[in-house]
Amino acid sequence: MKKHFINHIGIENFKCFQNLTIDGLESVNLIGGKNNVGKTAFLEAVELLVSSNETYDLVVNIYKLLTRRQTNNLSNDILLDFIREDETKVKIYTKNKKLRLAVHRYEIKDIIPTTKLSYAINEDEKSLSIDRLLGQSLQKIDRRIDNINFISSAKAQEQDIAILYGSLVDLDREDFLNDSLRIFDDNIISIKQRATKNNVILKLKLKDRQMPVLLSSLGEGINRYIAVLCAIWASKDGFLLIDEIENGIHYTNYQKLWQIIFQASADANCQLFITSHSKECIEAFNEVQLEQENNRGAYFEFYKNIKTDMITASKRHKEQLKYSLTHQGRVRGE
């Protein structure tokens, strides 16, 4: 495990989590489980943790989290949905870093009541009014860290892929992507960028076409495949979070995808956190783990504990996962 990687995380009162702790995180971490057990929320908690190095980063990242998940970005319509119902304090932590968030309501005689958010990293604590947090003042502030990326479950915008591809070009890894694309589809020769007056367009050179074709003209699978592979190298020495990795990708390509992900994550020194709803995708992940002993992967199944009604996570080692997948265990991907 690389020094900057996370091998333990604790989450308290963030979204659906009351008290979740996970140990034994690896280079490539796959999160499975039924719907509504917090898989996406877990990615968001990890993102807040790894992308907030200074205290002010935390409040900016909270704002971006709220506006990304809520379709209407008008300040009056943004809700503080990152705190578990009926709670006022959130904590996300590892061994060396602790994020704390708390909502405080102040009522002073003859003064309009105000609500403040206190936010802290380790012992450095600050606060601001909720009105300011939900206003427009944070909208244009860019505190993004270059080697931390989040790929949502939706189809990636071509402009976002072009930015990720630019990072790959800077690292002189175009051959990696072209070789990987040919594994995915042997009709593909290479990917190309074409600059226009206002934008950058991605095209693919194909064996059966004389002229390169627009990436946008091809299917969602190739779009997601390119986005994932570019994002790994764009996250070199950092972190990549991918929600529902299987979206748009045909199940026959899952094993190829995992083989490339394991190799690229090791070469780029990138720690990945990935969710999946697909049993076939989880099976392919485990098959690659079993075939290649040097792969540093871990599978965690999220589920709601019947006795405590709390969401918890169980780490399944390779042989345990294989047994569960073949004997109708609790692993759920459908």
Q: Give the model confidence (pLDDT) of 161-173 as tens digits.
A: 999 999 999 999 9
Q: Quick one: pLDDT at residue 42? A: 97
Q: Give the model confidence (pLDDT) of 305-330 as tens digits.
A: 888 889 999 999 888 898 888 876 55
Q: Quick one: pLDDT at residue 333? A: 44
Burial of 109 (0-12, 13-18, 19+ CB in 10 A): exposed
Q: Give the model confidence (pLDDT) of 103-149 as tens digits.
A: 887 665 555 667 888 999 999 999 888 877 776 556 556 666 679 99
Q: Quick one: pLDDT at residue 334? A: 40
DSSP secondary structure string, 80-148? Answer: -TTBPTT--EEEEE-SS-EEEEEEEEE--TTS--EEEEEEEETTEEEEEEHHHHTSSTTTT-----TTE
Joined together, the tokens standing for residue 77 give 């319509």
> Are 26 and 298 within 8 A, CB to CB?
yes
What's the CA angle centered on 258, arms 147 and 206, to 5 degrees? Answer: 85
Burial of 38 (0-12, 13-18, 19+ CB in 10 A): buried
Q: What is the pTM of this model?
A: 0.90
Q: In this predicted model, which residue has the larger pLDDT, 292 or 111? A: 292
Q: Quick one: pLDDT at residue 66? A: 83
Q: Is 250 left (phi over 0), alpha (psi -120 to 50) or beta?
A: beta
Q: Quick one: pLDDT at residue 327? A: 76
Residue 4 above 90 pLDDT? no
Q: Give the model confidence (pLDDT) of 55-98 as tens digits.
A: 988 988 988 888 777 755 444 566 778 888 888 899 999 999 99
DSSP secondary structure string, 170-219? Answer: HTT-HHHHHHHHHHH-TTEEEEEEEE-SS-EEEEEEETT-SS-EEGGGS-
Domains of the chain are 21-32+145-334 (3.40.50.300)
Contacts of 239 (CB under 8 A, 6+ apart): 46, 47, 50, 147, 148, 149, 270, 271, 272, 273
Burial of 291 (0-12, 13-18, 19+ CB in 10 A): exposed
CA distance 67 to 73: 6
Burial of 95 (0-12, 13-18, 19+ CB in 10 A): exposed
Instruction: Look at residues 86, 82, 75, 89 and name the one whose alpha carbon lies nearest to residue 119.
Output: 89
CA distance 173 to 159: 19
Q: How far apart are the first and last CA of the chain?
A: 31
CA distance 75 to 131: 8
Joined together, the tokens standing for residue 331 give 């692993």
Do the strands 239-242 and 148-151 form a parallel or antiparallel pair, or are they unpaired? parallel
Compute how many other C-beta atoms are within 10 angstroms of the C-beta atom of residue 177.
22
Instruction: Look at residues 79, 87, 25, 75 and name the one whose alpha carbon lies nearest to residue 299.
Output: 25
- For the packed helices 174-184 and 254-268, what is the interaxial angle rounded to 10 degrees? 170
| DSSP SS3 for 39 | helix
SS3 content of the chain, % helix, strand, coil (to 5): 35, 25, 40
